[in-house]
Amino acid sequence: MNIALIGYGKMGHAIEALAAERGHSVTVRIDRDAPWPETIEADVAIEFTTPKTATANLLRCLEKGVPVVCGTTGWYGDYDKVVGECKARVGRLFTATNFSIGMNIMFELNRRLAELMKGRAEYSVGISETHHIHKLDAPSGTAITLQEQIVESGERRAESVPIESIREGEVPGTHTVVYDSEIDTITLTHEAHSRKGLALGALLAAEFLVSAQPGVYTMRDLFSEGVKGS
């Protein structure tokens, strides 16, 4: 599989290193110092840039007919616009607020716990997320997803599920959901040890997308195919 990397920072380098281990090649690198070529000689693009540039990057991939996996967060205000363009061009788009297999398992646990907490008014709930100082969006897209799942699966409103965002050092990403009551506390935590888990998930998504039918996909589609993260 030939890959176009859009964004060649720490995540781009992590994806490139793991891609080689999986027998793939990075044939295009697009970054601030490497502008867009006229054509993209790649089977799929993987986009990890910034909230300000993601939408334009995704639209350009769709315009060029290149399936694209997007790992950038903070651009979802333009989600409907990008999805509309994908459908209009009969393209392929894969989005996720977090590509880690472990984090997506936590998403499923979070949904189930929210369901079990229906009617349990004695518990308050909150979310905390900690990332490196270079992360531009706060709260993280992952934390927002956790909040949305709690609202959708349970009986709570968004304003009753506060998110605390912490930026320090080079922390890859830690997300915690806490249900607290007078008599006990229930905690769900996912702590990334490196960017490798995100890189692996992005590559699994790319491998899925190159053979998928036109459409918009998420990690739940990947899980439905029985992907185990290896």
Give tens-digit pLDDT for 162-198.
999 999 999 999 999 999 999 999 999 999 999 999 9
Please say if 135 is a catalytic residue.
yes
What pLDDT score was predicted for residue 190?
Answer: 98
Active-site option among 10, 132, 135, 196: 135
- Domains of the chain plus CATH, in order, are 2-99+195-224 (3.40.50.720), 101-191 (3.30.360.10)
Please say if 190 is a catalytic residue.
no
Global pTM value: 0.90
Mean pLDDT of 136-143: 93
Active-site option among 64, 131, 175, 190: 131
Q: Is the pLDDT of residue 147 over 70?
A: yes
Parallel, antiparallel, or unpaired: how do β-strands 174-180 and 185-191 relate? Answer: antiparallel
User: CA separation (Å) from 186 to 116, 169, 177, 207?
Assistant: 12, 27, 8, 36
Cβ-in-10-Å burial (0-12, 13-18, 19+) of 54 comes to buried
Q: Is the pLDDT of residue 22 over 60?
A: yes
Give tens-digit pLDDT for 38-83.
999 999 999 999 999 999 999 999 999 999 999 999 999 999 999 9
Q: Is the pLDDT of residue 228 over 70?
A: no
